[in-house]
Structure formats: structure tokens, C-alpha cells
């Protein structure tokens, strides 16, 4: 199975490169499953129903969220009628929506998508390890799902790496989101799980983590907020991770970073070209 996970879509420029490039990537790379983190898609803060549908129409099979899940209040309502929209699984009981979704890939296979949020330097949610364990026990790789993707949304690299090792051999991919900076540690662990500490954002990198530079600089220099953060709207770089799995095991056999457009150096999965 060919899986493409695309990192945090940031504002208008991030959305634009998705609508422009993703349909062609699905066709040219013969992608079976596309997952997008969309928690910053609406002006940098949250997601709307219209934007969610825009991603699905462009070729996404599921959209994950994170600590900005509810910044757009409408998400609390429309998530209930959007089975492909996945918020952190370790939110408290009774939170709207779902933290895991079994979606049908483009090739008819079953893909379990789990969104978990770290607790180091983040909100003190429920234990993400216990929550992920619950989901992969209920829907194991191969008997319940043909592939399993875990979006670990967090600040701390150590927490993300620990999650990767914890589920190694039991899921297809553990990919970190949230820091908006792509890491260079894409690899396949000994048990067959593909891993990357942070996939990076899909947005304008002439910015401070996707925001226009002036206000973040002002706050660091003077410690006084003067304006709200606004997304940078220059040309975006689409950042993702490409994973190919073994159909017999559901585990990864190939993994490479994806960077297209914008300011960052290009990276393409040569095994799909």
C-alpha cells in the first residue's frame, strides 16, 4: 500500500498547494491512502467544515487534528457528521468526535487512523500510550486493519520517539506533527514501523512556524503582544512522508520525506517516480 501523510496545513497558502498539487500526486504516485493534519488550516487556528470538505475533495482519505481542534467552534458540531475527521484520542470521555477512524483507502483496503496528543509541554490530557494501546488492541494490524497510521501530535521528540518504539511492529507508521519543522530522522524501526519525529508544516516557510514574522519577533523582544498572529501567505512548501507497506504484513518496507514547492529543498519519493 502507498501512503502519503501530509503535515500541518497552515492557512491559505497551505490550503492552496493542497488543492493544486494533491490530485496530481494521487494520480501520478498511485497513492492508496492520504492523511492530512488540518488543525491549523483555518487562518492558522482550527478547521472549518468547508475546509475539511476541500481536503477530502482534493484526495485526502482522513484529516487529523491536535491542540487547535476546537479553535473554530463549528468543529465541535460538524465533527459528528464527518467520520474521516479525527481529533486526539486521549481527550476526556464525552468529547465530541472520535480519536480513531477506520477508513476505506482508494484501493479498498482498511486503514485505521489514530490521532494522539502528547502531554509534555502540552495540555494535560489522558495518557496517549494507554489510549493508542486501546485502539490497536481493538483493531489489530492485518486482522482488523490493513494499515495503521498514528499521528502523534506533540512538542517533545522524546515522547514521540517513545510512542514509535512502543507500537513498533504493531502499526504501519508513527508520524509526529505540531512543531511545524520537518526532521531528518525518517526510518523504519526494527519491528517494521515507519517513523518520523515531525513531518513539518505545509505552509510558507518565510515565517515563524507559519506566522508572519513581525508579531512573534515583537513578543520575543518586548514580551508585549501588540497584534494577533497572522499566517504568512507566501508560496507554501508541501511537507509529508511517503510510506510503502507490505500487503502481507501491513508493515513498512520503504519510507522517504516529501517536500514540494516553496522555499525548502525538494524531496521526492524516488521509488514512486
Active site residues: 68
Output the CA torsion sign for 50, 55, 61, 65.
negative
Residue 164, CA distances (Å) to 120, 149, 192, 211 in order = 16, 11, 11, 29
CB 233 within 8 A of CB 247: no
> 15: closest CA among 193, 201, 177, 191?
201
* Sheet bearing 194-196, strands edge to edge: 100-104, 110-117, 147-153, 173-177, 194-196, 187-188
- Give the integer Cα–Cα distance in Å for 180 and 165: 22
Amino acid at each position: 500500500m502507498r501512503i502519503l501523510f501530509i503535515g500541518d496545513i497552515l492557512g491559505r497558502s497551505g490550503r492552496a498547494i493542497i488543492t493544486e498539487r494533491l490530485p496530481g500526486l494521487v494520480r501520478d504516485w498511485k497513492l492508496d491512502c492520504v492523511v492530512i493534519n488540518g488543525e491549523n488550516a483555518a487562518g492558522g487556528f482550527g478547521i472549518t467544515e468547508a475546509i475539511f470538505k476541500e481536503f477530502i475533495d482534493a484526495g485526502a482519505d482522513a484529516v487529523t487534528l491536535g491542540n487547535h481542534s476546537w479553535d473554530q467552534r463549528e468543529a465541535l458540531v460538524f465533527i459528528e457528521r464527518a467520520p474521516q475527521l479525527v481529533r486526539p484520542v486521549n481527550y476526556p470521555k464525552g468529547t465530541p468526535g472520535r480519536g480513531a477512524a477506520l477508513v476505506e483507502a482508494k484501493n479498498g483496503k482498511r486503514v485505521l487512523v489514530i490521532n494522539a496528543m502528547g502531554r509534555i509541554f502540552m495540555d494535560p490530557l489522558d495518557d496517549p500510550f494507554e489510549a493508542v494501546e486501546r485502539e490497536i488492541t481493538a483493531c489489530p494490524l492485518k486482522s482488523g486493519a490493513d494499515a495503521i497510521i498514528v499521528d502523534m501530535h506533540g512538542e517533545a521528540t522524546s515522547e514521540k520517539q517513545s510512542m514509535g518504539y512502543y507500537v513498533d511492529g504493531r502499526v504501519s507508521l508513527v508520524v509526529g506533527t505540531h512543531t511545524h519543522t520537518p526532521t531528518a530522522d525518517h526510518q523504519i524501526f526494527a519491528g517494521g514501523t515507519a517513523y518520523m519525529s515531525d513531518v513539518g508544516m505545509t505552509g510558507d516557510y518565510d515565517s515563524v512556524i507559519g506566522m508572519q514574522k513581525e508579531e512573534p519577533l515583537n513578543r520575543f523582544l518586548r514580551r508585549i503582544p501588540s497584534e494577533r498572529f497572522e499566517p504568512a501567505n507566501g508560496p507554501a512548501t508541501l511537507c509529508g512522508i511517503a510510506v510503502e507497506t507490505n500487503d502481507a504484513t501491513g508493515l513498512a518496507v520503504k519510507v522517504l520525506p516529501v517536500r514540494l514547492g516553496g522555499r525548502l529543498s525538494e524531496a521526492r519519493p524516488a521509488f514512486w517516480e
